[in-house]
Structure 1
Amino acid sequence: MRSRNLYVYILASKIGGTLYVGVTNDLVRRVAEHRLKAVEGFTEKYDVGRLVYFEQFDDPENAIKREKRLKKWNRAWKIRLIEENNPNWDDLYRGIAGGD
């Protein structure tokens, strides 16, 4: 099986706000869809579009396992993971989308 990049990511509505965990093979496109509210659902309803955390994988099975594991984590653990890597809850989207 050919390897390709996959991403597990966490979006937030604001600092300390509603969280969403997802997996995708195109992080820039998928986060843009969330931000533009292109797909009805949880992120549109709760205005979740700030990319606060992501991990890159080259194996789909491991990416999906990680996403499922993170979804089962309690909120405090997710917040700790975000703050260990992104203490100010900066929106990481501009950095990955080619912005400054």
Structure 2
Amino acid sequence: MSPNCSPEAHSPDNDCPENHCPQGWCVYIILSSDNRLYTGITNNMVKRWHAHHGKQGAKFFRGRLPSRLLYLEPQEDRAEASRREAEIKKLTRPQKLRLIEPQADIDWHRKLNL
């Protein structure tokens, strides 16, 4: 771990590898405060999570807050992440919940220090 990655220095803007998706880009699913599922892409999940809590995030989160990160899926690049995001957004809620199921025991908030 580099010096910038100490717990004391942890912030959404630093270069700690755990802030970023393992292969550069990820598709993610967040449960919102009104129990809706939001799907998006990012190359820095920690920074994106904080953006969703502030006014810089998706319009979807105006009037509601992100509650829990449920799912992360690494992708090769931004194009693949966008393609996969579009696929996931076409799924029904039950289909999305089945997709999330294998990651149900992963505490992404603890793992990523959200």
Q: TM-score with structure 1 length normalisation?
A: 0.75
Instruction: Specify the alignment match of 1:64 in structure 2.
Output: 82
Look up the match of 2:31: 12
Is structure 2 residue 105 aligned with structure 1 residue 93?
no
CA-based RMSD: 2.3
Q: How many residues align?
A: 91
What one-letter code is carried by the residue in structure 2 that aligns with 1:93? Answer: H
From the CA coordinates, give the structure whose radius of gyration is larger: 2
In the alignment, which of 16, 21, 44 is matched to residue 26 of structure 1? 44
Aligned equivalent of 1:37: 54
- SS of the equivalent of 2:88 reads helix
After TM superposition, give the deviation of residue 58 of structure 1 in Å.
Answer: 2.3
Identity %: 34
Q: Is the 8 A contact 1:6 1:24 kept in 2?
A: yes
* Aligned residue identity for 2:95: W
Paired amino acid for 1:92: W
Give the TM-score, by structure 2 length: 0.67
